[in-house]
Amino acid sequence: MPDITVISAALTSLKAATDIAKILRESDLSLEKAELKLKLADLISALADIKIELTEVQEVIIKKDKRIAEIEEAFETKGTLIRKDDAYYEADVEGNPFGIPYCLRCWENDHRKRQLVHHSRQTTICASCGHHYKAYMTNVIDRDS
């Protein structure tokens, strides 16, 4: 799991920075100026490593939060979509399909509602995955139909 290793590396860098800070705090005036500058450079380097690693952790968390939101949306929508021919549609109160068609492939594989658009008179296409469908199998369905 890459996110666990990044967190571990950040904690290791944080420990190194803390240790350097303790050495600087506990040292007396006997430290040479050059040695002090070296320790401060090490501290700055360790803190920079922590910042980079925590940025990576933040990116992982953002990606996971986005995926969780997508899964929650798919879960909420799961019962409201029904298949008719080569597309999924919203269901009315009687359970009949209506409205715009959604991509069969995107819904069944990724649980994502992706609207189909007309590509030509004979075909519709999913703008997300690029899958082509026969237009007569993916028509917009009016509630009155």
pTM of the predicted structure, to 2 decimals: 0.53
Q: Mean pLDDT for the chain?
A: 82
What are the residue ranges spanned by the domains of the chain? 2-77, 85-137
Per-residue confidence (pLDDT) for residue 42, from 0 to 100: 82
The pLDDT value recorded for residue 8 is: 75
Is the pLDDT higher at 36 or at 104?
A: 104
Q: How far is CA 138 from CA 28, 54, 78, in A?
A: 79, 46, 19
Evaluate the CA torsion angle 5, 8, 14, 19 in order and state its sign: negative
Q: Is 133 or 29 the better-scoring residue by pLDDT?
A: 133
How does pLDDT run across 51-108, given as a tens digit for each residue? 888 888 888 888 899 888 888 877 776 668 899 999 999 888 888 899 999 999 998 8
pLDDT score for 30: 60
User: Which two three-digit tokens encode residue 135?
Assistant: 């237009």
